Amino acid sequence: MIEIIKYNRQSTPPKLDAILSRTPDFSAEQEATVREIVSTVKEQGDRALLAYTKKYDGIAIKAADMRVPETEIKAAHRNADPKFIEIIDAAATNIRKFHETQRQTSYFIEDGDGVILGKRILPIERVALLIPGASAPLFSTLLMAAIPAQIAGVPHLCIATPPQPNGAIHPAVLATAHHIGIREIYKIFGAQAIAALAYGTDTIPRVDKLVGPGNPYVQIAKKLVFGTVDIDMIAGPSEIVVIADRTANAKHVAADLLSQAEHGSGYEAAVCITPSADLATQIADEIAHQAADLTHREAIQKALDRFGAIVVVRDLAEGIDLANRIAPEHLELIVADPWAHLQTVRHAGAVFLGAASSEPVGDYYAGTNHILPTAGAARFASSVGVDTFTKNISILQYTDQRLQKTAGHIISMAETEGLDAHANAIRIRIP
């Protein structure tokens, strides 16, 4: 069910090469389809948005019905199982506690002669949170996106999420939104929703930033509208790398690998790296045993066929070197002393230390964010956090006294670049 590979950095097997070279590439056909959708929605607004919603989501709705009534949101919260509300409240508390530490404040410094330099940290004004719902109601993603935005102080938050076949939004998403104080929810998703949110329609107000996951069509659309609006990242299928030594429990490792392979696209990556050939065999056997009873076993098998492997390395140092090359979304260190190896981890969206730190703990409850870079983007990108929802403005106050002292340097720099008007803007201020 999963391939076991003997690692050799000088000669990479095809399966491992595929894992190392994965990128968020999209087909020319997908790109062309999304380009047409985005262009049409930009030009035709609500008419195109509704037509594409009917075509791709199978739901015929009117423009006036795209926004979920507040009474419906309240009812979902009121009718929710009290245990569910208790759980999301506890998870939200954990997420808020962790992200509160990320707050940044504006600052100013005095640089002599009355010169003041500074930076103002401000929230982005209007942000759309993208909450998928085709295969599952991802209310946990809503918590992960909304709470950092609220801490940042974003004044206008809206949600875009797909309707179910009955035309309604899943009540778990509505109840969660109400519980954390979001009332603006639209029954739209896909590339057409991205275009509507980026350019605005008669019904959908234009936003400044788009945050959240989605299928390849959503990601292509985000890429196309970037520059008109900001985006968080281009997010691909989920990934996990587990580094395990002989102290690891094969059942735990197998379960964690399967937890990421089940998302359903068939392109998820699930990799175990271990210096123990015996453990590798045990994990492979355990994966086959556990997968047999899982609901999504066919999707799991597709993912494991493409990007699943157990890699046997010389030692943990070589294993971490390989993990850094993969730069996974999630990295688990199920080893005797995980903290001893943490400093050598350079590229991962999130790191989970020890046997109890199963990846779903971070997905749902502990407080760290689960919207993470994928497809090797952890080499240069970070998880969603409070700073995802802020911008900064540089502040400068110069004085005549300082300008007299530094004008010559500034003029010389401008003239060296051949920018006469720049130089003159300084020279004209000097007696």
Catalytic residue numbers? Answer: 329-330
Q: Pairing state of beta strands 209-211 and 126-130?
A: parallel
Q: Which two tokens stand for residue 265?
A: 């696209």
Q: Pairing state of beta strands 390-397 and 116-123?
A: antiparallel
Residue whose pair of structure tokens reads 């989970």 in the numeric block: 352
Rounded distance, CA 83 to CA 89, Å? 10
> What does the radius of gyration of the chain's CA atoms come to, in whole angstroms?
25
Q: Pairing state of beta strands 350-353 and 330-334?
A: parallel
What are the residues facing 185 on neighbouring strands? 159
Q: Which residues lie below 8 Å from residue 8, measured CB to CB, with a gap of 6+?
A: none
Chain centroid offset of residue 313 CA: 30
Q: Which residues lie below 8 Å from residue 107, measured CB to CB, with a gap of 6+?
A: 118, 119
Rounded distance, CA 103 to CA 144, Å? 16
DSSP code at position 389:
G
Q: Is 69 exposed, middle or buried (0-12, 13-18, 19+ CB in 10 A)?
A: exposed
Q: State which amino acid sits at residue 386.
A: V
